């Protein structure tokens, strides 16, 4: 099973592999029309650990893992405002 979503101009491809009835291992890859230089993970499938997951959880945690990877690659969108900095 495959689903693609877009985040910050980069596609997140979610792949679910059935392990048993209604349970799935989850993988993701990210692709970009203009991949940032020096990023080795673009286009590679990465397994989300902690599974197997139900279908709904698999989609959620895998998309969040993809978004986190993109945030690491591109940097933060905005400054975090917390108790220590106002």
Indicate whether 67 belongs to any domain. yes
What whole-number distance in Å separates Cα of residue 2 and Cα of residue 9? 19
Indicate whether 61 belongs to any domain. yes
Indicate whether 84 belongs to any domain. no
Predicted local confidence at residue 36, as pLDDT: 75
Q: What is the pLDDT along the chain (86 residues), one digit of tens a residue?
A: 899 999 998 999 999 999 999 999 999 999 988 877 777 778 889 999 988 999 999 999 999 999 999 998 888 766 555 566 55
Predicted local confidence at residue 81, as pLDDT: 56
The number of domains in the chain is 1
Range of the domain at 14: 2-74
| 57 CB-near residues (< 8 Å, 6+ apart) | none
Indicate whether 81 belongs to any domain. no
- The torsion angles phi and psi of 27, rounded to 5 degrees, stand at -135, 155
């Amino acid at each position: 099973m495959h689903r693609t979503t877009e985040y910050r101009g980069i596609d997140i491809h979610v792949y679910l592999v059935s392990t048993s009835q209604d349970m799935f291992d989850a993988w993701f890859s990210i692709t970009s029309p203009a991949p940032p230089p020096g990023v080795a993970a673009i286009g590679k499938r990465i397994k989300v650990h902690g599974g197997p997951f139900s279908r709904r959880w698999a989609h959620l945690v895998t998309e969040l893992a993809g978004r986190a990877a993109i945030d690491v690659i591109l940097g933060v969108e905005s400054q975090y405002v917390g108790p220590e900095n106002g």
